[in-house]
Structure 1
Amino acid sequence: MTNYFKKIPTILALGLISSSAFADDFFLGKPASSEEVDENCEQTEQGCEGKWAGSVEFGYVAVSGDNESDSLNGRFTLGYEVGRWRHAGALATQSSSTEDSNGVKTEARKFTAQAKSDYKFSKYAYAFGIADYDDTKDSGFDYQASLALGAGYRFIEDESHTLDGELGFGTRESKIEATSETNSEGIVRLAGLYKWKINKNAEFEQKLSSEIGDDNTVSKSYSGLSANIMESLALKVSYSVKHQSDVPVGNEKTESVTSFTVVYSF
């Protein structure tokens, strides 16, 4: 698993650099046409109104027996598109508790937040700004927060598939739990997002990102498969992994979470 994450920065960088289409369209491509911009507008008497979209996820598991455990996870996303602008935000939380036969209870929790804005220069090329926040109990860090600006390109777009790649630069701040020391460093951010609409009721999503710093490289992977059971209601299984090249002594470099959730989209 560790070797896999070490390859992520190289794979994403080669994909961005080697694509002549990316260079031609991003630097020389025509701006987004009025027809393309209007796709994200609903014309009213007041002019162009953007499009909103969002989702709420919820999952819960309880186990009883020699050891009792329960886990709860939730996620909220909200997006807004208008003209050349595309905005997205997400909040997620995970909590779990385990009690053994001796009554010893162990608790874990995780909270993450992300906000991102894109500005489209052409049909496929865009600039972006992104902010990330991660607060995971007993991870060795009180929190980790990052901010990056950069450029992205949509390599594939058809009825079933989309593939985006991004390259950016920014900064990350990490507060160490044991010492309350705060470390700041510059980062290079590489990211990719792939979506596959399998059919009208099923969709697969894969996200990869890597924030490369002198002191620590943070790589993340998210895989999600959802299937509609009603028009706005779906069942979803997801698997996420986070790997860090350097963590405080006594903490694991890799953490992973498998989730089963019900998703309501609006």
Structure 2
Amino acid sequence: MKKILPTAAVLVALPACAFADDGWSGAGELGFAAARGNAKSENLNAKLAFKKEDDQWKDNFYLTALRSKGEVTVATLVDGQVQNVKNYDTTANRYEAGASVGYKFDERSYLVGALRYENDDFSPFEYQAVVSLGYGYTVLKNASDELSFEAGPGYKRYKPVDVLGPETAGDPPAPVRHTFDSEGEVVGRGLVAYKHLFNETTAFVDTLLVEAGSDNTFLQNDAGLQVAINKSFALKAGYQVRHNSDVAPGIKKTDQLLTTNLVYNFGGG
């Protein structure tokens, strides 16, 4: 974790130099918390997002990372008896990247191609990768509000995580591990993005992503309240909900994440 924190800070800051002079704008977010004493934990989350829009194109790209370590209690076989032992171990490890390219038909409607890839050690799936092509429409865009929709078909490739079954085998007996191959399916992708400016310093953003397929439907909603400190820096409180409709037995379908981050804004805004 000590090596990851400065590396993440550098990655968040790099785009300010690389893209600000080329018409790009965006933001880097970084949040870190550590606890010592009766409890021991470390949590790091980072996000880098940038965009560029002109009369013909609207492009977006983002990278996110989430890593956490903490004390967990695990059942361990000691001298033939099951005992609960506390370990300091990784409890979250997720990386995600996404991009979209939109070709404008006019000021409101556009054709959009999108890509998304995630790798999560604590998800129902080892990875999920989606490519899609769809239609986008900006319903509302003024000084205080912006609302847009995207919808279209896509293709998803994913691999369910291995799970330990209730049966045992071997001597001494151990739970049987069930492994799964990668799978693919046609999905329908939908995106709803909303932004509201309360005033010059305070903004609310909410983005809902849906990837619906016959085998699994993935939903992710990101809501955030951002308050500017100055032209470059802001504080942001975020709440994320992720849901998979079809998971292996013993795995929860829904994950929630609360974050408080320092945001660095760069480029033309």
Same fold by TM-score, threshold 0.5 exceeded? yes
Aligned equivalents of 1:70, 1:78: Cα separation in 2: 27
| Among 140, 164, 172, the residue aligned to 2:124 | 140
For residue 104 of structure 1, give the secondary structure of its aligned residue in structure 2. strand
1:44 equivalent in structure 2: none
1:265 equivalent in structure 2: 265
For structure 1, which segment, 97-106 or 182-191, has the greater mean C-alpha deviation from structure 2 after superposition? Answer: 97-106
Q: Which has the higher helix share?
A: 1
Structure 1 residue 229 and structure 2 residue 229: aligned? yes
1:162 equivalent in structure 2: 146
Deviation at 1:180, TM superposition (A): 4.6
**Superposition map of 1:13-28 within 5 A:** none
Deviation at 1:217, TM superposition (A): 0.5
- 1:18-54: per-residue Cα shift (whole Å, max 9, x none)? xxxxxxxxxxxxxxxxxxxxxxxxxxxxxxx962102
RMSD: 1.6
Letter in 2 for 1:52: W
Aligned equivalents of 1:264, 1:189: Cα separation in 2: 30
Letter in 2 for 1:188: G
Deviation at 1:168, TM superposition (A): 0.8
Aligned equivalents of 1:139, 1:159: Cα separation in 2: 39
Provide structure 2 residue ranges, at least 5 long, that are not aligned to the other structure: 1-20, 74-84, 163-178
| Among 69, 72, 86, the residue aligned to 2:58 | 86
Structure 1 residue 60 and structure 2 residue 43: aligned? no
Aligned equivalents of 1:223, 1:139: Cα separation in 2: 21
Deviation at 1:176, TM superposition (A): 2.1
| Among 46, 51, 59, the residue aligned to 2:23 | 51
2:5 equivalent in structure 1: none
Aligned equivalents of 1:62, 1:256: Cα separation in 2: 19
Residues 84 and 59 of structure 1: CA distance in aligned 2, closer, same or farther (over 3 Å)? same
Q: Which has the higher strand share?
A: 2
Letter in 2 for 1:90: Y
Identity in percent: 32
Residues 103 and 244 of structure 1: CA distance in aligned 2, closer, same or farther (over 3 Å)? closer
4+ runs of 1 displaced by more than 6 Å?
A: none
Provide structure 1 residue ranges, at least 5 long, that are not aligned to the other structure: 1-48
1:118 equivalent in structure 2: 102
Aligned equivalents of 1:82, 1:50: Cα separation in 2: 12
CA contact (8 A) 1:206 1:222 kept: yes
Letter in 1 for 2:248: P
CA contact (8 A) 1:236 1:263 kept: yes
For residue 59 of structure 1, give the secondary structure of its aligned residue in structure 2. strand
Aligned equivalents of 1:153, 1:237: Cα separation in 2: 28
| Among 145, 150, 161, the residue aligned to 2:134 | 150
For structure 1, which segment, 212-221 or 62-71, has the greater mean C-alpha deviation from structure 2 after superposition? Answer: 62-71
- 1:58-103: per-residue Cα shift (whole Å, max 9, x none)? 1011122322111011111121223311111000001111126965
1:209 equivalent in structure 2: 209
2:70 equivalent in structure 1: 98
Q: What TM-score, normalized by structure 2, do the two folds share?
A: 0.77
- 1:165-206: per-residue Cα shift (whole Å, max 9, x none)? 111101001112312511100001121000001111111100
Letter in 2 for 1:112: E
- 1:208-239: per-residue Cα shift (whole Å, max 9, x none)? 12111000000110001111111110000000
Which structure would you say has the larger Rg? Answer: 2
Q: What TM-score, normalized by structure 1, do the two folds share?
A: 0.78
